[in-house]
Chains A and B, each alone.
Chain A
């Protein structure tokens, strides 16, 4: 029935895209006269037309429907790509950021490190560490004072601006204030390094390093006194004592007293009145307090 080469043959004939050989073959076939006549007849056909101006007018008379505005945030691929990079950089930057913890004046703040080592920050202190790199690099940088209970493991380092403390797994306190670098060991072995010295201290020992000298002292405490709201001073300067009180009680203390007399002793860390009285009596000062502002001036 169908003796054409393929099932698009006649379509290609209409389209005049048959090869010369194919065309010759078709022209010799018995069907060709009818096909040709059909083709000629198509040419007499005319596209039906209707009055389009009326329809156009009718169409345009319709109100446009305001689109629901979906404004694509990123209209172009490259903007999307750029945004993606920014986001990824942001996430990366965020993840690489050291984790930071801080205790404001008048408060303490406890946190855990990724290996469950514990840190208790004393008032007015802050610590930061890189959590993403913790397993290979146990390093905390500290400003102020903190008590560490370190889980056993690799080398653990506390960096301060006055020196560093390296341990293997122990409990110790680090205090780096002004020019005074003070490390107390409660358990294990602690290696303390500053710009001028290096020393290993054992449980119950405390090392105090300041500009001029280095004092090795002992303690019977099993944890820093400040964690029990007791402020212990040993040969501390008057200004250091006032600064510690300011941090612990979040107050501001003025004093006109100039003295080289060092202070040793214990002051309550949770009873401001008692604490101030001790200082006032020791240094013979007149105590005046209004709100958070305290003045301690020499008695007339």
Chain B
């Protein structure tokens, strides 16, 4: 985990770079956790505000960020399970040559796939999507969540297992 110079994070340029590099990771981590855009935006933003305000004292900005966000998350007891909207809006590139049957089948699979993700536990979903969507390595996820890499792998294994069962069950 490379850290900006202690004083550096207080300068706007360094802070901006740090923000650009870490905002989405944090924000989407929170989104995967809560399934709420607004909540994720708010908590992520608040965490960055705290970092900016206390930049002079913070020695490990990234750890600080996730710690603040996790603490804030604890207070957000009122989250509800919301279906995640993570589909991209670009047209399906199989459209041009696929048969209608294939497209139907594909849509059906996608629905089951989405439902399966929504039914994962919060812990499984967060770990899995950070890896699959954010492209975070297991080690990085472990750092964000404050757990061991092995625990991350277990969660992801469990998530895939559970999804596979659901999808095949409703076949």
Cα–Cα distance between A295 and B5 once the two chains are bound (Å): 78
Interchain Cβ contacts within 8 Å, total number: 116
Q: How far is the CB of B25 from chain A (nearest CB, A)?
A: 9
Stretch at the interface among A9-17, A101-109, A203-211, A238-246: A9-17
Interface size class of A (residues with CB under 8 A): 35 or more
Whether the Cβ atoms of A64 and B49 lie closer than 8 Å is no
Whether the Cβ atoms of A62 and B85 lie closer than 8 Å is no
> Interface size (B, Cβ < 8 Å)?
50
Whether the Cβ atoms of A62 and B160 lie closer than 8 Å is no
Q: A38-B163, A64-B10, A64-B53 are in contact. Are A59 and B19 (CB under 8 A)?
A: yes
Q: Name the B residues within 8 Å of A4 (CB-CB).
A: 157, 161
Q: How far is the CB of A9 from chain B (nearest CB, A)?
A: 6
Stretch at the interface among B54-62, B66-74, B75-83, B95-103: B54-62
Whether the Cβ atoms of A47 and B55 lie closer than 8 Å is no
Q: Name the B residues within 8 Å of A195 (CB-CB).
A: none
Q: Which of B133-171 contact A (CB under 8 A)?
A: 133-134, 138, 150, 152-154, 156-158, 160-161, 163-164, 167-168
Q: A11-B138, A55-B41, A56-B23 are in contact. Are A35 and B164 (CB under 8 A)?
A: yes
Whether the Cβ atoms of A44 and B48 lie closer than 8 Å is no
Q: Name the A residues within 8 Å of B150 (CB-CB).
A: 8
Whether the Cβ atoms of B16 and A56 lie closer than 8 Å is yes
| A135-149 interface code vs B (CB 8 A; 1 in, 0 out) | 000000000000000
Q: Name the B residues within 8 Å of A66 (CB-CB).
A: 56
Q: Name the A residues within 8 Å of B27 (CB-CB).
A: 50
| A61-99 interface code vs B (CB 8 A; 1 in, 0 out) | 011111100000000000000000000000000000000
Whether the Cβ atoms of B28 and A48 lie closer than 8 Å is yes
| B21-65 interface code vs A (CB 8 A; 1 in, 0 out) | 001100110010000010001001100110011111100000000
Chain B residues in the interface with A (C-beta under 8 A): 10, 12, 15-16, 19-20, 23-24, 27-28, 31, 37, 41, 44-45, 48-49, 52-57, 85-88, 92, 109-110, 113, 129, 131-134, 138, 150, 152-154, 156-158, 160-161, 163-164, 167-168
Chain A residues in the interface with B (C-beta under 8 A): 2, 4, 7-15, 31, 34-35, 37-38, 41-42, 44-50, 52, 55-56, 58-60, 62-67
